[in-house]
Amino acid sequence: MTKKLLLILVIIVITACSNSDEEPLTNQVDSNSVDKTVLEISKEIEPVPQDSLKTIKDISIYFSSNRHSSTTFDITNEENDKVGTYKQIVTNEDKEGNYVISSTMEEFPSETAESLNTIKNYRLSLEEIKLIRQIDNLVGTTLKDTTIISNTKNSWINNYELGGDQQSSITSINKEVQTSFGTFSNCIEVTEITEDSREITVKTYAPNIGLIHQVVTIDGVVNMEYKLVNYYPEIFGKDIEESKNTFENIEENEYLSELPSITTGEVSKINLNDYAANVNEYSINQVEYQILHRPNYQNGKDNEHIYTFGNDIGDIQILTNNDALIKEVKFESDEPLGEEGLLYMQWLILSLNSEIKPEEANEFLFSSPSQYYEIKNFLVGLESDGNNFKFVILPNK
């Protein structure tokens, strides 16, 4: 998948700044410039009656608010061949009532090591699900104000800088969708049309899960389709069939679990100064400041040395031996885990070894918390309960 194609996927999967009060787009397309079937399709798309939306008292139920729930999609093309995978995870609700979704999209079979990695921040209310911020590895950091679903309007316009205006309409509120994971009822369907009417995207959202299906057509031909294959609501110790039957009744205490307290006693071959330089290179490129800078120092036991780097999120503590070789990296905070904290963790992982790819770091972030996972010669673990978090890296020769 080339960088050009990934950029197209950014435009398709992600929307940007929203102007909620505009009138729906008028069709300004020359009928000679676009396939007539596309024009006919766009004209046939009608929003549901505004009064019918009043029956939905809380639109936020069409978003998965289960912390660390993950959703996996197969991406297929016009011939129904699998061309990629898309996986997203809801990480947590922050102190402002916003939710964070981290996602990764990869080509299948792989022709390049590059994938699309995105972190999106959502704000939920009874009336609206809104995308308010996004960071990705192709476009960078963008601040958004995009309406995803609303029960106060049946049609609205979002504006995306790369793709122009896009009209979104709620075209069904009781849709039934069959997927390989299961059948979902009472789904909301949102149809999005670009300003030239050439590209039409139909997204379907299921109660308590969120997005379960998406199909994109360009000039009347299917360009790509997202098919739900797995949904994990983070129920520890339960298999997927049991998860399917119980995800609507999850209690908060079922998510709480502590990271096992272990030490490997191993010493890495990574020098503290080299590691800090690598981490800071990532942070400067993406947020324009160093996250490992001017540490507090204290002696540890058994000729160990402790360097603590403070920041607005929490403390990053690095333990070394007398030769300044790293024995442990720990990132702790008494604040909820948000998108910036996830970025810090990704940089801390990638800086361990130049052979570690972003997909490997993201695979860890998408995994169930409170477990250690092996990445190259290291054990990496994350503990988070919605109010605070602890992230640990241990050498493991």
pLDDT at 336 over 80: yes
Is the model more confident about 111 or about 295?
295
Instruction: Taking residues 189-208, report their average pLDDT.
Output: 89
DSSP 46-95: -PPPGGGGGG-S-GGGGS--STT-EEEEEEE-TT--EEEEEEEEEEEE-T
Phi, psi of 3 (to 5 degrees): -65, -35
Q: What is the mean pLDDT of the chain?
A: 78
| Domain spanning 3-254, CATH class | mainly beta
Q: Which residues of 250-263 are buried (b: 16+ CB within 10 A; e: fewer)?
A: beeebbebebeeee
Question: Which of 6-20, 177-191, 321-335, 355-369 shows the lowest mean pLDDT across its residues?
Answer: 6-20
Phi, psi of 5 (to 5 degrees): -65, -40
Predicted TM-score (pTM) of this structure = 0.56
Question: Which of 119-133, 222-236, 332-346 shows the lowest mean pLDDT across its residues?
Answer: 222-236
Is the model more confident about 337 or about 298?
298
Looking at residue 37, its amino acid is: T
Q: Which of 27-41, 132-146, 194-208, 235-249 reaches the highest mean pLDDT?
A: 194-208
How many Cβ atoms are within 10 Å of 111's Cβ, its own excluded?
Answer: 9
pLDDT at 279 over 80: yes
Instruction: Taking residues 218-223, report their average pLDDT.
Output: 90
- pLDDT computed for residue 248 by the predictor: 36
User: Measuring CA to CA, which residue among 368, 364, 360 is closest to residue 384?
Assistant: 368
Instruction: Taking residues 154-176, report their average pLDDT.
Output: 84
SS3 at position 42: helix
Kindly give the residue spans of alpha helices, DSSP state H, lying in 236-357.
240-246, 272-287, 339-350
User: Looking at the chain, how many residues does it have?
Assistant: 397
pLDDT at 314 over 90: yes
- pLDDT computed for residue 87 by the predictor: 87
The angle formed by the CA atoms of residues 228, 229 and 232, to the nearest 5 degrees, is 95
Residue spans of the domains in the chain: they are: 3-254, 272-395
Taking the C-alpha atoms of residue 48 and residue 267, their distance in angstroms, rounded to an integer, is 62
Is the model more confident about 287 or about 162?
287
Q: How confident is the model at residue 129 (pLDDT cuts 50, 70, 90)?
A: very high
